[in-house]
C-alpha cells in the first residue's frame, strides 16, 4: 500500500506504509546468493559474508562483491580497481582526482582499502537494506557499472600521469 502526504497543496514522495506488525524484508547473507542468481548472475562465495559476480560491460570485466553489513542496515556493492603496491609512488593528483570525483558519483565512492598487506583503490556503494526487489537491485547494479565505465579515466592506472 502506498500513501501520499499533502502539505499546503504539495505532494511529498510516495512511501510504502507497512501494516501494523508487518516487518520490512531484508536481504541476509543467506538470501543474497539466491537474489543474485535470480537475476541471472552466477555468484561465487568469497567468504562467509561476501558473494562475487563477474560482469562484462563494454571493454571491461568487473568483479562486483556484495555483502550485508553487520547491523543488516546496508547491502554493500564494491569492486577492486587498482592494486597500489607503493602508495608513495602513486601520483598525488590521481588520488585527488578520485576523491574529487566522489562528488559526481555519490552515493558511490572511491576509497582506499588495505587487504592483508596490499592497498587497493576500490569503488563502493551502499544500498539501504529495505525491501530490495530484484528489479531495484538490477537497476542499482546497472547504475554502478555505468559509473565505473564512465569514470575509468580516473581509476585506470595507465592514464595516471607520474608526479615530476
Buried/exposed code over 6-30 (b: 16+ C-beta within 10 A; e: otherwise): eeeeeeeeeeeeeeeeeeeeebeee
The per-residue pLDDT for 41 is 96
117-154: pLDDT as tens digits: 999 999 999 999 999 999 999 999 999 999 999 999 99
Alpha-carbon gap, residue 73 to 55, rounded angstroms: 26
Terminal C-alpha separation, the chain: 61
Alpha-carbon gap, residue 110 to 26, rounded angstroms: 26
75-107: pLDDT as tens digits: 999 999 999 999 999 999 999 999 999 999 999
Contact 35, 29 (CB under 8 A): no
The per-residue pLDDT for 1 is 42
Q: Is the dihedral of CA 126, 77, 141, 32 positive or negative?
A: negative
Closest CA to 121 of 164, 152, 161, 163: 152
Domain locations in the chain? Answer: 25-159
Closest CA to 63 of 73, 49, 72, 50: 50
Contact 94, 126 (CB under 8 A): no
Domain 25-159 listed as CATH 3.40.50.880:
no
Strand partners, 17: none
4-17: pLDDT as tens digits: 333 333 333 333 44
Amino acid at each position: 500500500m502506498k500513501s501520499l502526504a499533502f502539505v499546503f497543496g504539495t505532494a511529498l514522495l510516495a512511501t510504502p506504509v507497512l501494516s501494523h506488525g508487518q516487518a520490512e524484508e531484508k536481504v541476509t547473507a543467506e538470501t543474497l546468493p539466491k537474489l543474485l542468481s535470480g537475476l541471472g548472475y552466477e555468484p561465487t562465495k568469497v567468504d562467509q559474508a561476501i558473494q562475487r559476480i563477474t560482469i562484462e560491460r563494454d571493454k571491461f570485466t568487473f568483479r562486483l562483491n556484495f555483502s550485508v553489513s553487520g547491523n543488516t542496515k546496508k547491502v554493500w556493492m564494491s569492486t577492486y580497481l587498482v592494486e597500489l603496491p607503493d602508495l608513495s609512488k602513486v601520483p598525488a593528483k590521481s588520488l585527488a582526482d578520485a576523491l574529487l570525483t566522489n562528488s559526481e558519483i555519490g552515493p558511490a565512492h572511491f576509497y582506499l582499502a588495505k587487504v592483508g598487506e596490499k592497498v587497493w583503490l576500490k569503488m563502493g556503494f551502499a544500498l539501504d537494506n529495505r525491501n530490495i526487489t530484484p528489479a531495484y537491485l538490477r537497476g542499482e547494479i546497472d547504475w554502478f557499472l555505468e559509473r565505473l565505465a564512465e569514470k575509468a579515466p580516473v581509476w585506470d592506472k595507465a592514464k595516471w600521469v607520474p608526479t615530476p
